[in-house]
Amino acid sequence: MKKVDTNQQHLFIDFEFTMPESKGNPKGFYPEIIEVGLVLVVNQEIRERFSSFVKPTQFPTLTERCKNFLTIQQEQVDDGISFAELINQMLQYETQTSSTIITWGNMDMKVLKHSCQKNNLVFPFQGKQIDLSMEYKRFFGDQNQTGLWKAVQEYGKEGTGKHHCALDDALTTYNIFKLVENDKRYLSKPAPTTIGDRIDFSKVLNKFAL
């Protein structure tokens, strides 16, 4: 059996969150994860995809704004896994090696950490965390951060599946990651030398002028 290069394990993650009906409503509201999409990539190959709805604990009833924006129904989250089960699922990916966690934006990890604190559960990841939207911004020198699907369209591609579907967004994040990494490798390659670089034409001309 081929030994896995544990230095090349990446987890591409996208969460969808609960949303308040309006600012300050309900009192004490904070976003909770209601859908997870996860793509495990080992040595540049997709090894696993995971998708599930997740039951919110503090504010279990979805607002109309949330249902309309995400097209997620109350029954779907009611039948989802618990937040504790979500943490256990993510811990399974960390048994052999720490993953590099890649998300589009920084909200996913912020909400995950906050929810772990609220539920007295351990944060499941120890490895490096990369906000790909910031990598994209720096790489292209953009003034503002670009939305996930706008970024992939700027590459002349289309997003996978449906926007704001967690697994589709995680797959789209992975696709952008591959495109950016390819561009980085291309730019880091030294330009091939030309015949002008190899020959000092002034010396050649002087020789024939004698």
64 is catalytic: no
> CB neighbours of 210 closer than 8 A, spacing ≥ 6?
none
Check 10, 16, 32, 35 and give the catalytic one.
Answer: 16
**Burial grade of 127 (CB within 10 A; 0-12, 13-18, 19 or more):** middle
Residue 34's H or E segment, with its range, is strand 33-42
Check 21, 32, 164, 181 and give the catalytic one.
Answer: 164
Q: Could you give the CA distance from residue 81 to residue 192 in angstroms, rounded to a whole number?
A: 54
Tokens of 68: 């309309």
16 is catalytic: yes
CA distance to 6, 7, 115, per residue, from 108 (Å): 24, 23, 11
> CB neighbours of 122 closer than 8 A, spacing ≥ 6?
87, 91, 116
Tokens of 161: 């599946």
Residue positions annotated with a catalytic role: 16, 164
